[in-house]
């Protein structure tokens, strides 16, 4: 299932799969060591909160490679102590810090757990420190997106280890260093993650979803960036629209952007946003820092315009269709102008496949059993991109949005809920335990 789909279809499929899995619906009590897992999480809440504060206080802006590596260095000993084999993937070939992979090779089903090390807050900004607002609410750069998710995953693994359930599991933990601003070329930046997905049976995304701890995602949009460059003939503005100068670069850019809006806007789950535009007689654009300068005067026809933006889709098919239509619009240049558009690769979404609903049914039952109530499905249009979209096409099932809940991500008002973090850690530990014992394949 891919491309266009409705929330009604999502709900109907979820209901059908709940009927297909009576063993989960009938389970109303914890199994085996699961009660002990919950007790361990409660007992180690102070440790989880302390680690969260330490992680948040490290600036790991994507382009701050030293900070991204510092987060990886802080986490590495925790994974080593659990018996994972660690692999640091140097990001120099794709112009980023790199990724941390932790691998445990036991028996049984193979699980890929995905998170990211980086945030969106540069070191020079005012928002740098972890703070407690009240007993259960905290704020800080990346506290929910996604330092909290890292703590949830790590402490779930620690609980499993304490109860003797981890050592024989088949796990790969992929902690990506450039989720917020992906490196280039994409084939290198995501190659190891895709290879891990090809190995795995299913993937779990520990980034936050829509901020509600009672939700998870069976579908999530993927994205890519684009750069539109338009050129015209510089000259006196009194000659604009004539045969000699034509329309100029700014009118050409305006034509293209408005045509994008008129011809593509409104398609379900497809969005495209121009985030930066520079135009005039002269333009300087820094693509790495996403900034630049432009100069020009009102009586001179503009010679060049650079516009950068993003494209978000629910599937690769939708992405390929949107890019083809955007290219066709760009090719219809006004007189005296030319234009090109470049994409940073084809966006790959996470459409709502059957295996995703099966994982959701398991997670929903886990949540009920641990006492945190039912988990509903998130409308994909409410979600941004995440690295799980790169993995989803290669696994039998994928579930996203199970990290620490919070609000105002990517802003100076980002907050998160400590109480929710503990409940989500319990769910993660029991989910991983049940998956390791074949829950995904049970009739």
For residue 27, is pLDDT > 70? Answer: no
For residue 379, is pLDDT > 50? Answer: yes
Query: Which pTM was predicted?
Result: 0.86
Percent share of the chain, pLDDT over 70:
93
Question: What value does the mean pLDDT take over residues 283-312?
Answer: 93
Q: Tell me: the pLDDT tens digits for 29-76?
A: 788 899 999 999 999 999 999 999 999 999 999 999 999 999 999 999
For each of the domains in the chain, give its residue range(s) and CATH number, in order of start: 7-220+350-441 (3.40.630.10), 222-343 (3.30.70.360)
What average pLDDT is seen over the chain? Answer: 92
Q: What is the pLDDT of residue 16?
A: 39
Q: What is the pLDDT of residue 289?
A: 79
Bridge partners (DSSP) of residue 273 are 310
Q: What is the pLDDT of residue 324?
A: 98
Q: What is the pLDDT of residue 20?
A: 36
Q: For residue 126, what are the CA distances in angstroms to 57, 178, 411, 412?
A: 13, 22, 11, 8
Q: Tell me: the pLDDT tens digits for 158-177?
A: 999 999 999 999 999 999 99
Q: What is the pLDDT of residue 26?
A: 40
For residue 4, is pLDDT > 90? Answer: no
Question: What value does the mean pLDDT take over residues 382-398?
Answer: 92
Rounded distance, CA 159 to CA 82, Å?
10
Q: What is the pLDDT of residue 72?
A: 98
């Amino acid at each position: 299932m891919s491309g266009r789909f409705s929330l009604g279809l999502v709900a109907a499929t979820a209901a059908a799969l709940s009927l297909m899995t009576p063993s989960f619906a009938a389970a109303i009590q914890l199994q085996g060591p699961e009660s002990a897992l919950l007790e361990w999480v409660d007992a180690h809440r102070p440790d989880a909160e302390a680690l969260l504060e330490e992680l948040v206080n490290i600036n790991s802006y994507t382009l701050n490679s030293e900070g991204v590596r510092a987060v990886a260095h802080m986490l590495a000993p925790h994974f080593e102590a659990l018996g994972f084999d660690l692999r640091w993937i140097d990001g120099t070939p794709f112009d980023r810090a790199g990724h941390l992979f932790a691998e445990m090779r036991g028996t049984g089903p193979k699980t890929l757990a995905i998170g990211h090390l980086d945030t969106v807050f540069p070191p020079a900004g005012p928002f740098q420190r972890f703070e407690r607002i009240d007993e259960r609410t905290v704020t800080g750069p990346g506290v929910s997106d996604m330092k909290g998710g890292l703590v949830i995953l790590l402490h779930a693994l620690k609980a499993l280890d304490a109860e003797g359930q981890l050592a024989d599991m088949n796990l790969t933990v992929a902690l990506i260093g450039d989720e917020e601003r992906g490196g280039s070329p994409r084939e290198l930046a995501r190659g190891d993650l895709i290879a891990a997905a090809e190995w795995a049976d299913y993937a779990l995304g520990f980034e936050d979803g829509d901020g509600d701890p009672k939700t998870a995602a069976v579908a999530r949009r993927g994205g890519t960036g684009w750069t539109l460059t338009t050129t015209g003939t510089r000259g006196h503005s009194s000659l604009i629209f004539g045969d000699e100068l034509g329309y100029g670069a700014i009118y050409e850019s305006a034509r293209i952007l408005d045509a994008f809006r008129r011809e593509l806007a409104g398609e379900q789950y497809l969005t495209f946003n121009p985030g930066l535009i520079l135009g005039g007689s002269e333009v300087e654009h820094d693509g790495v820092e996403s900034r630049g300068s432009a100069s020009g005067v009102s009586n001179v026809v503009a010679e060049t315009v650079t516009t950068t933006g993003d494209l978000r889709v629910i599937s690769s098919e939708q992405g390929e269709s949107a890019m083809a239509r955007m290219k066709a619009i760009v090719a219809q240049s006004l007189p005296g102008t030319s234009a090109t558009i470049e994409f940073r690769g084809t966006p790959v979404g996470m459409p709502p496949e059957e295996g995703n609903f099966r994982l959701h049914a398991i997670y929903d039952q886990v949540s009920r059993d641990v006492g945190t109530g039912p988990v509903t499905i998130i409308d994909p249009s409410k979600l941004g991109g995440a690295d799980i979209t790169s993995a989803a096409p290669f696994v039998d099932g994928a579930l996203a949005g199970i990290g620490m809940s919070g609000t105002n991500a990517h802003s100076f008002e980002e907050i998160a809920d400590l109480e929710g973090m503990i409940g989500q850690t319990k769910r993660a530990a029991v989910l991983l335990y049940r998956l390791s014992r074949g829950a995904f394949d049970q009739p």
